[in-house]
Amino acid sequence: MLDRITGMRVFIRAASAGSLSAAARQLGMSPAMATKHVDALEARLGVKLFHRSTRRLSLTEAGSDYLDACQRILPEIEETEARIASRRVEASGLLRLNVPLTFGAQHVAPLMPGFSERHPAVNVELGLTDSQVDLIDGGWDMAVRIGRLGDSPLQARRLADCPLLVCAAPAYLDRHGVPRKVADLVQHNCLGYTLSAQTGYRRWAFGRDGEVRASVHGNLVANNGAALVAAAVGGQGVIYQPQFIVAEALRRGELVVLELDQPTLELGGIHAVYPPDRRPPAKVRVMIDYLVEVFAGPAPWAIAGHG
């Protein structure tokens, strides 16, 4: 029985080149064998995939549909095979991992002892910065990115959700009252994050897609979420930050979540990203697999009833 995957490869090449002989040359097989693979596909499917003439092949309607499916499915199969096959190669060498400052310090650095126990031949350089770096130009093997991923050739795997919470210290609320509506925030000292358009120092976004905007102002802005948490814990004002940053302060009772009349934003998730290589080095693969495993299910920073 002919290999179905090879048949799909022959079919894709033949559809692109318009010739079974050209597909055979590209794949290093005889034209007769290429023809057998396509014949086997047509027999299995019970339809003709090509209109055949002495000069050129052209796709039938069924062939066009099948080509779309093959072009979608085959890369996934090849990537899965590459990932499984790479497990035979021991992960080793220097892994340069870039992560956001607070998330990296609070939730990635503590995972490194466990990773090193599993993969002792991998040395990790952990770069902590809230500025988005260029992986290729900076020589980074991979990064953790928070928020919606824009158009990019980078490959990505989702690690966790990233809901935002509005919080303040009990002492601040005792002095200034508790905001009940998004519109009430204009009367409060709102501490803004300068690197975000959604939680900045002039407007905060609410709603599932950020469609509700609230004008805010405050006497402190910062480019680091942990700094804003520290100020809020001290009673300076209201903050709008990711759950992973405020979770410990909430558990200790230093901050409380403010329930407003609009849902808070979900930033678009936390992702591991790496250069566009279908066969990433073993050191990259094992780190991504490790992070996916650790963050599977409820995140370590999850707060009951919030996200």
pTM of the model: 0.67
Q: What is the CATH number of domain 164-257?
A: 3.40.190.10
SS3 195: coil
Superfamily (CATH H level) for 90-162+268-295:
Periplasmic binding protein-like II (3.40.190.10)
Q: How far apart are CA 69 and CA 259, in angstroms?
A: 46
- Per-domain boundaries in the chain: 4-87, 90-162+268-295, 164-257
Each residue's pLDDT tens digit, 177-212: 999 999 999 999 999 999 888 888 899 999 888 899
Range of weakest confidence among 3-12, 70-79, 162-171, 220-229: 70-79
Domains 4-87 and 90-162+268-295 alike in fold: no
Q: How far apart are CA 241 and CA 229, in angstroms?
A: 8
What tokens were used for 146?
Answer: 């928070």
CB 49 within 8 A of CB 11: yes
Q: How far apart are CA 228 and CA 26, in angstroms?
A: 59
Query: Which class in CATH covers the domain with range 4-87?
Result: mainly alpha
